[in-house]
Structure formats: C-alpha cells, structure tokens
Amino acid sequence: MPGYSPAPVDRAPARPAGRPAPARRAPRGTRLERWAPLVLVAPAVLIVLLLRLWPLLLGVNFSFTGDGDRNGTAVGFDNYVALFGDPLFRTALRNVGLLVLLLPVAVAIPGLLATFIHLKVPGHRVYRGVYFFPAVLSPVIVGTIFNLLLAFDGPVNALLGLADLGPVDWLGNPGVAIFTVVGVHVWATFGMALVVFLAGFSTLDSSLLDAAKVDGASLLQTLRHVIVPGLSRTIQFVFVTTMIGMLTSMFGLLYVMTSGGPAGSTYLPEYYVWIQQGQLNQPALASAASTVLFLIMLVVGLAQIAVLRRTGKED
Amino acid sequence: MKRTLFSAALTVALALTAGCGSAAGPAAPTGDASGKLVVWDWKSGDAKAASYVAKAKADFAKQHPGVTVEFVAQPYDQYYTLLGAAVQAKRGPDVMLFNGGGQIRDRVADLVPLDPYVADDRSRLSGWDAFSKDGKTYAEPVTLQGHPVYYDKGLYEKAGLDPAAPPRTWEEFVRDCGTISAKTGAKCLALGNKEGAGIQFWLSAMGTASLTPQEYTDWIAGKRNWTSPDVKRVFELWKLANDSGLNTDGPNSTAMFNDAFALFQSSKAANVIGLMSDVGHWKDFAEFLGADKVGVMTAPQVNPAATPSLPYDGGIGYAVAKSTKDPKLAADLVRSLSSTDALKSFYADSGAIAADTSIDVSAAGPAVATIVSEVKTGKPALHVALSSKTLDLMGRLSQELLSGSIGVDEVLQQLAASDKG
C-alpha cells in the first residue's frame, strides 16, 4: 500500500531515574576489540597480497626487462612495442574482440534451452541431464573427441558428403578454425550456464507466466516481456562468467585442436603467453603479454560490473 | 576480559602460523662436486630408454663412484616451458637434454661451452653442428635426426613400378605418383602440417634437391639468400604439390605426429618425408609395412646443379648448465650419456640412429642400411640452421600457402626479415 508506514517506536527506553550511569569499560579491552577485526581479516588479506598481487607486480616489473642477451636489463616499453608490432599478437587481440561479439550467442543458447526445459517441452527431464554432461568432460577429452569428429576425412564431412556438400577443413582453414573452436567451447561449457539459468527460473514468479498465457502472449512475446526482464540479473551473471571463461579457459581446447593455427588464426593472448615463454624462450615478452591480458580482463570486468549496477538500479 | 584476551591471542597465533606457511624455504642446492648431479630430459621416463640410462650411469659410476645421478623425466610438450622457468629461477638441473637447432641456440647464455671436455669424442660422433653456435659446442650428440624420403615399395610394385629404382627427378616423381594414384588409389605424399612441422621436413629434404652446393654451404654458415630462385622453388613446390593433389587431404589439420605417419604406414600415401630416430621412422614403418617394404630415397632432384642428399643433424644431446658447481664433472656425465655402449642400447631399443657411427646396424633391415650409408654423404638439415622464431613463423606462413591466403613472394620476404633478426 503506497504511503503506508508503521508507527514509530522508541529506539531506546529511558534510563530509570535515579540510577547512576554505568562505569566506562577498561581502555585495554576497548583497544583489543578495536584491533580484533583487523587481526581476523589479516590471513585472507595476506594470502591475496602475497600470492596474487605481489606476483602480479613482479610480473609487470619483469615485463620492462629484456630477453636473451638483455636478460635482467631494463628496456622500458620495448616489450610492449614488440607486442603490438607482432601480427600474431594482433591476431590474438582480434580474436578476443571476436569472442566478445560471439558472447551473446554463447549466452543465448543455454538461455533458450533452459527456457524450453522450464516450459516443460516433451522430454525436458532427459535434456536437463544430457545438456549438463559436456561440462564434466576435461577440455583435453573434448578436444580429442572433436579432432576426430571434425577431421577432414571424419564423420562430419562424411555427413556433408551425403548431402552433396563439399568437405570443410574445420580445423585447417584459417577463416573457419576460430569459429570451430569457439563452437566446441560453447558446446563444452554451456551446461554450467544452463544450470545457472534454471536456478534463475526458480526465482521467477510463475503467476507472471500464467498471466501472459491467459492474455494470449506468443512464445516470443513471453520471452521478451516476461522472461528476459525477470531474469535480467541471471543473464548478467552468465555474461560475466561466460566472458571470463572464454578469455581464460580455452587454452586446453586450442592446444589440442589447433595448436594456435592454422597460420596463427586461433591464437588467444593466453596461448601467446605460453608459446613465447615456453617455446621461444622470451619470458619477459610473455610477461608483457600477460599484463596486457590482465588489463583486458580488468576493463571487461569493470564494464560488466557497471552494467550490473545499472541493471540493479532499474530493479 | 579473560575470554577476550585468549581469543585475541589465539587469533594472532593463527595469523602468524599462516604467515609462516607461505614463506619460501631455503633454496636447495642443485648439486655439488661430491654429492649429486640432476639431469632433466624427456627420455629417461621411457621404458625403451631404460637400458640406455642404466649403461650411461654405469659408465659414469666407474669414473666417479661417489656421485649420485638423479634423472628427472619431464613431459616433452612442456619441457622447454618448465626448463625456461627453472633456469630463470636459478633452480635448473646440472645436465639437460636438448633437441638440436633453435631450442639450444636460444639458450646458450645459460649453458657451459663443452669444447674443452669433448675433444676425445669429436671423431666418433656425428651431428655436432646442431648443438653449436658461433663456433662453440654446447651439447654432445646422442642421436642423429634426419629427414629421409620413405616410400612404400609395396605400392610401387602394385603400380607396376620398380621398387628398387625410385624416382630421381621431380618430373619422374610426379609421373610415378600419377601412376600409383591411378593404379592403387593412394596419394603421393602423406603430409601433416598442423604444427607447422611439415614445411620443416619439406625445406630440408627438397632443399638438398634445389640448392646448389655453394648456396647450401652459405645457408648453413648463416648467409641465407631468401631471394634465390632455388630457395623460392622449394616453397613454390610446397604449394604446387598441395594444389595439384599430391598431398593427403587436410594437411593443415593433420598432425605430423602421428597422423601423417599413420597415413603412410597404412598405405594411404606412397611417400612420406619422415625421421631417422625415435618416431616417424624406419622402425615404426617396418612394423606395419614389413622391413623389406620400407624404401628410402633421396629427395627427387629439382635443380640439375643440386646434389640431393640426406639432410640430417644431431637429434638430441645433453648440455651442461652454467649454474652447475663442477662443469668438468657434469661434462663427464654428458660424455657417458654419449658413450658407445650406452648408444648401442638406445639404437637397439628405441630404433634411434645413434650419433656414434661405429655402431653396427646391419641387422636392422635395408632402410637402416641405406640411411646409415647416406649419413656419410649427408649434409646438415636446412631448417635446423634457422632460429626458433623463424621456424615458428615459417610454420604459420606455410599453412597460409596451403590454404591459399598468401603468395610465395610475400612468404619469402617475411622469412628474410625474421631470419635477419
């Protein structure tokens, strides 16, 4: 009821007349209690500082030194100049941009499937279990499976052949491979997002869906006006976690499926770091690439937090 | 009050305990003159290398009975990553295994030049070039690694060709491949270029058939002319072979190790540029095709002024870390790891062509006999002379050549720029 407010209540009872004020507590106790929260928080803070932030600073510092003959020598921004002058690193950054563009697809797929499960299409109990299955597979297993399925002379091309379509070199064509790997990644990880969406649906008031049905809303209208607004916080959460996963968890798939190829077309900054440090013995350059990746994550993360906050205000 | 004091004290103690737990312990020394030597490699964990390691240890123990040798086998895929990180942190091993070529050359700043210690082994072993930089030697060869062109004698016979007389020129090679395809359905060349390794083998094999002796010598010496028509021809043929259907399908998504080799040994391709030691080699192929059906030829001649030969180098060899306490002691271990008796085991068990050319290989079949005889006239492999960075780039560019997104001239320009440093 708008405008309604409960009657104000006394915050504290009046002290009975005549009784003396209680004595002040000992200063020693007060000081100890004031410091206790800091002491209790210290272990967690120290762990973050020592094992996360300090190594990060060391890494950033290392990125301003040289490799090979210049090992240990300060070189200013040479590594960053070399990074952005490397076509391979630019490809890696461009692929990050591509991942951001493909993000809506990676979120929409589990979202739609969760909607159908929630609306109880025939077989929804089976799908619920089946869709989560890929999420429990290791990326190496997933990569190996799809290497076989997507090989030039593999079953997928055999099926295309039956339909008189030309074979596609899914993993060997520079223009196609990145989409193939992203597709496999979405397949392998959408189960987790599906579970999050299903959890979100449990907080959606079912009477809203019933009301929409009574009013004759189509599926698309229900989706657009009831489900999406109702699950907006869930959608934002899935966006954030999916983006983080794409930027930091595709290494296994890349390594097994394409080795960053063909022609470097499926490099991501994470893979680039690994190659520069391990294969080409350029750890300082790899540190610079790590720093760039960290900054990318920071920007993307902050942007998404800002979006979350704005969404929260609308609620 | 007492309860508050006790809780605060307990919390402080726990915090201090957490702090102690995260402190790094004192760095353990990696070895000392009278104690232990640590060896990192990717071989000692392999069952086929057990006898080799045992004999090397025995040889070393005769000279230094009080020294313990500890082998730490690392997975090959992460070997250089782990090694690089360990060396940077001053926690690397005393002795470590390297592939010949760019990987060891990129890391010579962390290694001890072995020249004062290995003089006695110079003439017995081959393949030193791959472990040398600027005239200094940094590892002693254990195996030789080269790139013979293998052919399937069975397919040649089925096609009505004489398996004892493989093609000697490119024209003959292409013609014979056409015959084989028509008669047996097999492809000409099994190619796996997913890791960018196919082009390395191609460059080294076809380079001997295209570069003049002078161009070849200059290349190895570091004076590489990427604008030479003979060099260009190698890359043109790389593209031509694929465009004209000589290669097995999908080379950019076929792994050299071991899918391409599997295609050859299952007779889906009549030829493959393979290896000499450990994998993708005569012993693997013989298990499927039969030892008498594995043929070896030199690359078909492209340039009449070129003399095709077997391109090979040192394959793997052990090096000594600059941080070791006693370089002489570590070098003695390196020499034991290349001793004749140990290498005999490596050859017999792993099917590696040992760097020691005095070892008798006559019982291993005609392919090995051919390879070993060709080692005498062979030359260092062209790709091993290149840096890791240039090889990495060449792998990517070769994939673009196969997919048609780049031309040969641009490839050569980029490689020249990379090679210049």
Read out DSSP for B286-327?
HHHH-GGGEEEEPPPBSSTT-----BEEE-EEEEEBTT-S-H
Q: Quote the CA–CA distance of B367 and B374 in Å, as a whole number.
A: 11
Q: Determine contact: A50 vs chain B, CB below 8 A.
A: yes
pLDDT digits (tens, 9 = 90+) for A164-205: 988 999 999 999 999 999 999 999 999 999 999 999 998 888
- The residue among A92 and A304 whose pLDDT is bigger is A92
Whether B109 sits inside 8 A of A153 (CB atoms) is: no
Chain B residues near residue A46 by CB distance under 8 angstroms: 15, 18-19, 22
Distance, in Å, from the CA atom of B74 to the CA atom of B33, rounded to the nearest integer, reads: 24
Q: What angle do CA B153, B155, B160 make, to 5 degrees?
A: 95
Q: What are B93-135's pLDDT values in tens digits?
A: 999 999 998 889 989 999 999 999 999 999 999 999 899 999 9
DSSP annotation of A142 reads: H
- What pLDDT was estimated at residue B20? 38
- What is the least distance, in Å, from the CA of A81 to any CA of chain B? 16
Q: Please report which confidence band the pLDDT of residue A8 belongs to, taking 50, 70 and 90 as the band edges.
A: low
Spatial contact of A283 and A61, defined as CB atoms under 8 Å apart = no
Cβ contact B88–A40 (<8 Å): no
**Which pLDDT score, from 0 to 100, does residue A1 have?**
43
Among B1, B15, B403, beta carbon nearest to A263: B403
Nearest-CA distance B258 → chain A (Å): 13
Query: Given this model, what pLDDT does residue B282 score?
Result: 93
The distance of A288 to chain B (nearest Cα, Å) reads 16
Please answer yes or no on whether B1 and A26 come within 8 Å at the CB atom.
Answer: yes
C-alpha B94/C-alpha B325 separation (Å) is 8
Q: From the candidates B76, B108, B253, B386, which should be mutated to test the interface with A, based on the most A CB atoms within 10 A?
A: B253
Q: What residues of chain A lie within 8 A of the CB of B80, using their CB?
A: 278-279, 281
* Structural tokens at position A265: 């077309």
Sign of CA dihedral B192, B195, B197, B199: positive
Helix pair angle (A232-248, A283-314), 10° resolution = 180
Q: What is the pLDDT of residue A308?
A: 73
Chain B nearest-CA distance from A101, in A, is 24
Give the number of A-B residue pairs with CB atoms closer than 8 Å: 122
Partners of B194 on chain A (C-beta within 8 Å) are 171-172, 258-259, 261-262
Q: CA A194, CA A113: separation in Å to the nearest integer?
A: 7
Query: Are the Cβ atoms of B253 and A262 closer than 8 angstroms?
Result: yes
Is residue B98 helix, strand or coil? strand
How many residues does the structure list for chain A? 315
- Amino acid A124: pLDDT: 86
Contact B8 A32 (CB under 8 A): yes
Distance from CA of A150 to the nearest CA of B (A): 9
**What's residue A115's pLDDT?**
92
Q: Which one of B19, B84, B405 has the shortest CB-CB distance to A283?
A: B84
Of residues A169, A264, A283, nearest to B253 (C-beta): A169
- For residue B49, give how far its alpha carbon lies from the nearest alpha carbon of chain A (Å): 25
User: In the beta sheet, which residues pair with residue B152?
Assistant: B294
**A40: chain B residues, CB-CB within 8 Å:** 11
A contact residues 284-303, partner B, Cβ 8 Å cutoff: none
Contact B76, B278 (CB under 8 A): no
Q: Which of these, B222, B232, B203, lies nearest to B411 by C-alpha position?
A: B232
Q: In chain B, which residues have their Cβ closer than 8 Å to the Cβ of A277?
A: 81, 84-85
B254 vs A261: CB contact, 8 Å cut-off? no
Phi and psi torsions of A209, nearest 5°: -65, -40
Return d(Cα A67, Cα A185) in angstroms, integer.
Answer: 34
From the CB of residue B365, how many other CB atoms can be counted at a distance below 10 Å? 17
CA A281 to chain B, closest CA, distance in angstroms equals 7
Is the predicted pLDDT of residue A67 greater than 60, yes or no? yes
The backbone torsions φ and ψ at residue B313, rounded to the nearest 5 degrees and listed phi first, read -150, 180
Q: Tell me if chain B has a CB within 8 Å of the CB of A32.
A: yes
The answer to whether the beta carbons of residues B88 and B109 sit under 8 Å apart is no
| C-alpha distance from B278 to closest chain A C-alpha (Å) | 21
Whether B125 and B141 have beta carbons less than 8 Å apart is answered as: yes
Cα gap B317→B252, rounded to integer Å: 30
CB B374 within 8 A of CB B148: yes
Contact A259/B at CB under 8 A: yes
pLDDT score for B9 = 56
Tell me: the pLDDT tens digits for A91-119?
Answer: 999 999 999 899 999 999 999 999 999 88
| DSSP assignment letter at B269 | E
Query: What is the structure's pLDDT at B394?
Result: 97
In A, minimum Cα distance to B255 occurs at A258
Measured from the Cβ of residue B230, the count of other Cβ atoms closer than 10 Å reads 18
Q: What is the mean pLDDT of each run of 10 residues along chain B (421 residues)?
A: 52 50 39 75 92 96 94 91 88 94 90 95 92 94 96 96 96 97 96 95 97 96 95 97 95 92 96 93 93 95 96 95 94 96 91 88 86 91 93 96 95 96 71
C-alpha distances in Å from residue A2, one per residue of A5, A315: 9, 17
- The dihedral through the CA atoms of A308, A311, A313, A315 has a sign that is negative
The whole-angstrom distance between residue A201's C-alpha and the CA centroid of its chain comes to 21
pLDDT for position B376: 87
* Structure tokens given for A229: 């607004």
Q: Is A173 within 8 Å of B403 when comparing Cβ atoms?
A: yes
Query: Which value, to the nearest 10 degrees, does the dihedral of the CA atoms of residues B157, B172, B250, B260 take?
Result: 50
What's the confidence (pLDDT) of residue A46? 94
**Residues of chain A positioned with their CB less than 8 A from the CB of B19:** 46
Tokens (6 digits) for B129: 């070039």
Residues 70-89 on B with a CB inside 8 Å of A are: 78, 80-81, 84-85, 88
Give this complex's ipTM.
Answer: 0.79
A168 CA: distance to closest CA in chain B (Å): 9
- Name the more confident of A278 and B100: B100
Chain A CB contacts of B14 below 8 Å = 43
B159 alpha-carbon distance from chain centroid: 34
Q: What's the one-letter identity of residue B118? A: V
Task: Enumerate the residues of chain B whose CB falls inside 8 A of the CB of residue A171.
Answer: 194, 252-253
Q: Which run of H or of E encompasses B273?
A: strand B269-273
